[in-house]
């Protein structure tokens, strides 16, 4: 698949086959992620790689329990209260693999750089027949000091993205998007 076709056809995946991605594939995706542009060459990204459906399901349960009483503090998530209350709802969509990307705040550009890294991983995964989904529900939780300590993330690193990743179940149609909103051209 060429780069343009990859960009045109990548979608957020919310349904995965019941099989893990080999570690070698995950490591190659991380290497491809780090080919992203980086302000002042600082390469401020760092990763937590989670494997195992049961481990990830337990993390989903923990995040949902943490989020539900805090929805007033996180109004952008309040519309999902019903989902978060369902025992059957897994915020990682039952994926066997999750990648969390942090950025080192020593770089002014850590959010931009780690976001570009995330996009590279998502596109590279799609090119290899894998699906990904940026998981906003995990953002605040994965940035808690005690959670960062659990995964050996240095204090100077802040969460940028969390993505589920796996073998996509079924075919997803190309995303429909509005025409670009151009404020000035000329």
Please check whether residue 101 lies inside any domain of the structure. Answer: yes
Distance CA 167, CA 146 (A): 31
Please check whether residue 60 lies inside any domain of the structure: no
What's the pLDDT tens digit per position in 17-56? 999 999 999 999 999 999 999 999 999 999 999 999 999 9
Provide the whole-model pTM: 0.95
Query: What average pLDDT does the segment 78-103 reach?
Result: 96
- Number of C-beta neighbours around residue 9 at 10 A: 15
Give the tokens for residue 128: 């290899």
- Asked, for residue 62, whether it belongs to a domain, the answer is no
Residue 37 lies in a domain: yes
How far, CA to CA in Å, does 98 sit from each of 2, 108, 135? Answer: 25, 26, 10
Query: What is the rounded average pLDDT of the residues 166-182?
Result: 87
- How much is the pLDDT for 136? 95
Q: Which domain holds residue 149?
A: 16-55+96-167
Of residues 118, 123, 116, the one with CA closest to residue 134: 118
CATH of the domain at 151: 3.40.109.10
Query: Quick check: is 117 in a domain?
Result: yes
Q: Is residue 27 part of a domain?
A: yes
Q: Domain tally for the chain?
A: 1
Mean pLDDT of the chain: 95
């Amino acid at each position: 698949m060429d780069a343009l076709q990859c960009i045109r056809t990548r979608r957020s995946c919310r349904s995965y086959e019941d099989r893990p991605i080999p570690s070698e594939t995950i490591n190659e995706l991380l290497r491809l992620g780090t080919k992203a542009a980086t302000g002042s060459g600082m390469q401020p990204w760092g990763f937590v790689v989670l494997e195992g459906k049961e481990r990830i399901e337990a993390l989903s349960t923990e995040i949902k329990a943490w989020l539900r009483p805090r929805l007033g503090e996180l109004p952008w998530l309040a519309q999902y209260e019903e989902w978060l209350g369902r025992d059957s709802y897994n915020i990682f969509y039952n994926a066997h693999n999750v990648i969390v990307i942090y950025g080192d705040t020593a770089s002014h550009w850590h959010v931009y750089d780690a976001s570009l890294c995330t996009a590279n991983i998502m596109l590279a995964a799609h090119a290899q027949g894998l699906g990904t989904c940026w998981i906003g529900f995990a953002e605040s939780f994965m940035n808690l000091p005690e959670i960062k300590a659990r995964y050996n993330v240095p204090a100077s690193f802040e969460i940028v993205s969390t993505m589920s990743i796996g073998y996509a179940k079924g075919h997803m149609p190309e995303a429909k998007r509005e025409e670009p909103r151009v404020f000035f051209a000329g």
